């Protein structure tokens, strides 16, 4: 899925597949600066950005890594969700 966001990918799906995604999804509206998940939280959901920008911060005691910024169509939290590991970042 290189050079494609989630919404572009959805255009390749059949109606049955789109309905399945819809049934498994829920919409959350967050305010500016509101935390989606924190470091150490359980990886029990993945997130697809529909609108706005999400800042992903990797806490580190040794270096201050720059934040990553994700926007419409980007997916976050998928690695922890699929592997059952706790969150390694702060997303807001």
Stated pTM of the model: 0.77
pLDDT in tens, 10-64: 889 899 988 888 887 888 899 999 999 999 999 998 899 999 999 999 887 556 7
pLDDT in tens, 72-86: 989 899 889 889 999
Written as six digits, the tokens of 72 are 């419409």
Q: In this predicted structure, what is the pLDDT of residue 37? A: 95
Q: Give me the residue label for tokens 């029990």.
A: 44
Element (H, E) at 57: strand 53-57
Residue 1 has pLDDT above 50, yes or no: no
Q: In this predicted structure, what is the pLDDT of residue 53? A: 96
Q: Residue 72: how many CB atoms within 10 A of its CB?
A: 13
Q: Residue 87: how many CB atoms within 10 A of its CB?
A: 20
């Amino acid at each position: 899925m290189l050079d494609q966001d989630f919404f572009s990918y959805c255009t390749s799906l059949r109606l049955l597949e789109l309905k399945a995604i819809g049934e498994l999804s829920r919409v959350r509206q967050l305010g500016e600066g509101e935390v989606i998940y924190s470091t150490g939280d359980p990886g029990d959901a993945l997130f697809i950005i529909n609108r706005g920008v999400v800042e992903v911060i990797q806490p580190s005691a040794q270096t201050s890594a720059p934040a990553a910024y994700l926007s419409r169509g980007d997916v976050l939290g998928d690695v922890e969700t699929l592997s059952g590991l706790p969150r390694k970042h702060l997303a807001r």
